[in-house]
Amino acid sequence: MSDKKNFETLAVRTQSETTQFSEHSVPLYLTSGFVFEDAEEMRASFAEEKQRDLYSRYSNPNVNEFVDKICLMEGAEAGFAFASGMAAIFSTFGALLSAGDHVVSCSSVFGATHGLFTKYFPKWNINCSYFDVKDVDKIESLIQPTTKFIYAETPTNPGVDVLDLEVLSKIAKKHGILLIIDNCFATPYLQQPIKFGADLVIHSATKLIDGQGRVLGGITVGNKELIREIYLFSRLTGPALSAFNAWVLSKSLETLAVRADRQCENALKLAEFLESHPKVKWVKYPFLKSHPQYEIAIKQMKLGGTIVAFEVEGGVDGGRNFFDNIKMCSLSANLGDTRTIVTHPASTTHAKVEPEVKKAVGITDGMVRCSLGLEHIDDIIADIKQALEA
Ligand SMILES: Cc1ncc(COP(=O)(O)O)c(C=O)c1O
């Protein structure tokens, strides 16, 4: 029998060491600190001559289990887990960037990430140049001697555009810079950016990894030297994931594959339904043949993801009418939940993004982001249909 385990098996069977109680399900290690046998063990542990947990801001058995699982799933050498996706993004940038550095980023990024690039980084003299998803050829012309990395999400939030990971990685390698990918929309089950040459992969674990809308979490995995930098920064600044949230997230990973399979199936069915509905101006889903980057999506993703983006006819009023008539789906800003969620990005997740940037990345006033859950697809379609036709 081969030692190489499949994704589903790793998700279920990767577990921290069993205690003297021989428990089957992993216990919750709610402890801020850990004790030492004697002064020498304490010294050697803090000097990192001995590998062990010292303090839960640095590491904790529940957090370690969660990190180990994601590393195995993403094919990464090491990782560090955070209290939220934004903590992962900020700490990764904070650890790797210095004053005077420059970043090349896709313009279609999560609203809060855009806020870091535009509001906070300039005050530390860190600047960012944006490229459009449709204009990857422009990336090389944006790279400067001070550029540290290329940053992108794929699929993007909220427009579900897809970027070619292989192409991005070739450009990064040619210029001796890093490639950092926010893999939140795909999850490690659908796409592993490291396989295509990414150096670091970031997740908001709050989304499909938790999958049930309960806890916040984030993680960065990848090259071990880079993770070491991120670890040293985070151990001082304190954005660590809590043991409780890590325990929840590690349990959630056990069901990620089955949840994602069904949620992606629901998403494709909804996208196909919307494509033929007269009240829908356009619909985007990576595994629809009409998606502009369909060929790239099928090359690098196992399934099309759980998010469908579409625009309701009638602009702002059409959009408002749609949301006001939704009966079953949740009007919420989260995504990746077992409950189907409809969001209005223009007034919520991307409200603080400047109007011209919103326009450039295709966030229109009537755009709906639908995160497919696990309800029966007939009931999801029935709710969306009646809201479109109300
Ligand atoms: C693509 C993407 N990255 C990062 C984040 C931030 O994650 P969190 O809300 O866990 O901080 C989100 C949240 O929606 C997201 O969609």
Calculated CA dihedral for residues 240, 165, 75, 110, nearest 10 degrees:
20
Question: Could you name the CATH architecture of 256-389?
Answer: Alpha-Beta Complex (3.90)
User: pLDDT class for 114, splitting at 50, 70, 90?
Assistant: very high
Ligand 1 centre from 204 Cα, in Å? 5
What pLDDT is recorded for position 388? 96
Beta strands in the chain (DSSP E): 78-82, 102-106, 127-131, 147-153, 178-182, 200-204, 218-222, 280-284, 307-312, 330-331, 341-343, 367-371
Nearest atom (ligand 1) to Cα of 89: 4
Count, in order, helices (H) and strands (E) of the chain: 15, 12
Q: Which of 6-10, 77-81, 349-353 has the lowest mean pLDDT?
A: 349-353
Higher-confidence position of 91 and 157 = 91
Query: To the nearest 10°, the Cα dihedral for 106, 111, 117, 122?
Result: 150
pLDDT cut 90: percent of the chain above it: 90
> Is the Cβ–Cβ distance between 240 and 58 less than 8 Å?
yes
Residue 258 CB neighbour total at 10 angstroms: 13
Strands 280-284 and 341-343 turn out to be unpaired
> What are the boundaries of each domain within the chain?
7-253, 256-389
pLDDT at 2: 63
Number of Cβ within a 10 Å radius of residue 277: 17
| Residues with Cβ within 8 Å of residue 181, at least 6 apart in sequence | 151, 152, 153, 154, 165, 168, 193, 198, 200, 201, 202
Mean pLDDT of 137-144: 97
End-to-end CA distance of the chain: 58
Which of 133, 184, 242 is the best mutation target for the ligand 1 pocket, counting ligand atoms within 8 Å of the beta carbon and taking the most?
A: 184
Q: State the closest ligand 1 atom to the C-alpha of 217, by its place in the atom list counted from 1.
A: 10
Ligand 1 pocket residues where CB is under 6 Å: 84-86, 110, 153, 157, 182, 184-185, 204, 206, 216, 218
How would you list the strands of the sheet with 200-204, edge to edge? 78-82, 218-222, 200-204, 178-182, 147-153, 102-106, 127-131
pLDDT at 351: 79
Query: Amino acid identity of 88?
Result: A
Whether 84 has a pLDDT exceeding 90, the answer reads yes
Q: What is the DSSP string of 269-321?
A: HHHHHHHT-TTEEEEE-TTSTTSTTHHHHHHH-SS--SEEEEEETTHHHHHHH
Q: Give residue 350's pLDDT.
A: 79
Q: Which two tokens stand for residue 273?
A: 């339904």
Q: What is the pLDDT of residues 221-233, one digit of tens each?
A: 999 999 999 999 9
CATH top class, domain 7-253:
alpha beta
Region at 51 (left for phi over 0; alpha for psi -120 to 50; beta for the rest): beta
Quick: pLDDT tens for 45-83. Answer: 999 999 999 999 999 999 999 999 999 999 999 999 999
CA pair distance 108, 256, nearest whole angstrom: 26
Output 320 or 26, whichever has higher pLDDT: 26
Residues paired with residue 204 on neighbouring β-strands, in sequence order: 218
pLDDT tops 70 at residue 1: no
Predicted local confidence at residue 364, as pLDDT: 86
Give the Cα separation of 64 and 240 in Å (integer): 11
Cα-to-chain-centroid distance, residue 314 = 32
User: What's the pTM?
Assistant: 0.96
Q: How far is CA 372 from the centre of its chain?
A: 16
Digit-coded pLDDT (tens) for 251-291: 999 999 999 999 999 999 999 999 999 999 999 999 999 99
Average pLDDT over residues 202-229: 98
Average pLDDT of the residues in 14-28: 94
Residue 127, C-beta contacts closer than 8 angstroms, at least 6 positions apart: 102, 103, 121
Distance CA 288, CA 275 (A): 9
Asked which of 202-206, 343-347, 371-375 is least confident by mean pLDDT, the reply is 343-347
Kind of pairing between the strands at 218-222 and 200-204: antiparallel
Read off the tokens for 206. 């709050």
Atom of ligand 1 at shortest distance to CA of 206?
A: 10
What is the mean pLDDT of the segment spanning 298-320? 93
Q: What ligand 1 atom has the least distance to the C-alpha of 349?
A: 14
pLDDT digits (tens, 9 = 90+) for 123-138: 999 999 999 999 999 9
Distance from residue 216's CA to the centre of ligand 1 (Å): 9
Question: To test ligand 1's pocket by mutation, which of 105, 114, 157, 363 has the most ligand atoms within 8 angstroms of CB?
Answer: 157
Give pLDDT, residue 316.
80
| Mean pLDDT along residues 348-365 | 80
pLDDT at 356 exceeding the cut of 90: no
The mean per-residue pLDDT over the stretch 94-122 comes to: 96
Atom 9 (ligand 1) nearest CA:
85
Report pLDDT for 359. 79
Query: Residues 338-364: what's their mean pLDDT?
Result: 84
